[in-house]
């Protein structure tokens, strides 16, 4: 006798699967065509260059049907001349809306789509089940800049971003990039973005940017990113620490910030306070600083304590009103620039060292 715990199970076979729904083949083909058309329309609408190409082909077809082929040829010449004129008159617009979409389309089909199956299989990203079926991560899209190809991929079930990170060097070697970055996609946990660096924009000296007026203190243009876009530093309400070995370009970062702040320094809404223990860096722009201390550790402590006093006075004034100080000419933003922060730690005078550590602790908190 068999005893069951809970609900009694009948002796006959229990059906756990329903009979498959039988759909006519013609209806299934129509459904597939509708899905294909929907995906094609979404793809064309999402790609400005494809939308432009489809529109141009439609116009040429209409002209060839109802007019003469010679007129279509003349129209193509006019379009080419217009593109050349746009390239010279509005180079930024042409670069963004014509050149980069064309480059993205070309690199997707000429490089990534052609090499993608072999690349993911030999780098260990393809998966094979027990039945012998092989599954590949899906290549979704390619967005190219002047220096980087941003390749969006849909991962397989069970894969994570780290899987692509471990295969980054193999993927980069396959696609001929000089370096590869793997990034997660915010809001899309099933996707990953691979950045393939084709040309290093930092190989040459980056010229100073044009000084924008008014200056956006929450987005100072101070450098170039790997993808060739401008890096904008959020200075207002933040602390900035630049670290690197000797000769890595730390001083270049300092002077890029000073250059971007120059219009604000001129109109009095920003004041620079500098500490230069080596006395050989910030002194080149001494006229831009409202106060510049060098060599004397007691002056370092005094400068930092003055900044703390201003900070505490403003904290009392802003209490219950705002969390962020808005710079004005009467109450300018005070930017404390310290060259070689480590030099402040190695001061031998214990009293001065204590004063510096206390003031820095308050400023950085």
What are the chain's domains? 45-89 (no CATH), 104-200 (3.30.980.40), 220-364 (3.40.50.300)
The whole-angstrom separation of Cα 275 and Cα 339 is 6
Q: Comparing C-alpha atoms, which of 289, 280, 303, 229 is closest to residue 257?
A: 289
**Strand partners for 336:** 273
Residue 304, H or E segment: helix 297-318
Q: Is the pTM of this model over 0.95?
A: no
Q: What share of the chain is helix, strand, coil (3-state, %, to 5)?
A: 50, 15, 35
3-state secondary structure of 213: coil
The mean pLDDT value for 168-196 works out to 93
pLDDT band at 10 (very low <50, low <70, confident <90, very high): low
Lowest mean pLDDT among 59-63, 92-96, 219-223, 301-305: 59-63
The mean pLDDT value for 83-92 works out to 78
144 near 195, Cβ under 8 Å? no
Q: How many helices (H) and strands (E) does the chain have?
A: 12, 11
Residue with tokens 């620079």: 272
- 259 by Cβ neighbours in 10 Å (0-12 / 13-18 / 19+) ranks as middle
The mean pLDDT value for 288-296 works out to 87
Tens-place pLDDT, residues 107-155 = 988 899 999 999 999 999 999 888 888 899 999 999 998 889 999 999 9
Q: What phi and psi, each to the nearest 5 degrees, are found at residue 331?
A: -130, 75
Q: Which residues contact 202 (CB under 8 A, 6 or more apart)?
A: 224, 226
172 near 180, Cβ under 8 Å? yes
């Amino acid at each position: 006798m068999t005893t069951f715990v809970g609900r009694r199970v009948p002796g006959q076979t229990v059906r756990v699967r329903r009979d498959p729904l039988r759909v006519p083949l013609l209806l299934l083909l129509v459904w597939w065509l509708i899905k294909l058309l929907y995906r094609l329309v979404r793809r064309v609408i999402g790609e400005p260059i494809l939308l432009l190409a489809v529109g141009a082909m439609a116009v040429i077809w209409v002209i060839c049907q109802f007019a003469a082929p010679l007129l279509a040829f003349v129209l193509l010449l006019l379009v080419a001349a217009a593109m050349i004129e746009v390239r010279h008159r509005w180079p930024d617009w042409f670069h963004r809306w014509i050149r980069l979409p064309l480059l993205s389309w070309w690199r997707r089909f000429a490089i990534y789509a052609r090499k993608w199956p072999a690349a993911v299989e030999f780098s260990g990203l393809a998966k094979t089940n027990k039945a012998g079926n092989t599954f590949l991560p899906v290549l979704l899209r390619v967005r190219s800049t002047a220096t980087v190809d941003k390749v969006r991929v849909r991962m397989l079930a069970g894969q994570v971003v780290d899987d692509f990170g471990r295969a980054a060097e193999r993927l980069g070697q396959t696609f001929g990039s000089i370096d590869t970055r793997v990034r997660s996609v915010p809001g899309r946990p099933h996707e990953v973005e691979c950045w393939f660096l084709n040309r290093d924009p930092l190989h040459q000296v980056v010229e100073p940017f044009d000084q924008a007026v008014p200056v956006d203190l929450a987005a100072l243009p101070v450098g170039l990113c790997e993808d060739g876009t401008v890096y904008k530093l959020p200075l207002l309400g933040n602390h900035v620490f630049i670290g690197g070995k000797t000769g890595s370009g730390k001083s270049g970062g300092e002077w890029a910030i000073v250059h971007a702040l120059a219009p604000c320094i001129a109109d009095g809404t920003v004041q620079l306070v500098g500490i230069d223990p080596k006395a050989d860096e910030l002194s080149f722009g001494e006229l831009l600083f409202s106060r510049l201390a060098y060599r004397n550790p007691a002056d370092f402590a005094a400068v930092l304590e003055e900044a703390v006093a201003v900070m505490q006075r403003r904290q009392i004034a802003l209490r219950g009103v705002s969390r962020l100080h808005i710079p004005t000419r009467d109450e300018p933003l005070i930017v404390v620039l310290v060259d070689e922060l480590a030099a402040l730690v190695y001061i031998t005078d214990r009293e001065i060292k204590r004063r510096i550590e206390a003031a820095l602790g308050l400023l950085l908190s």
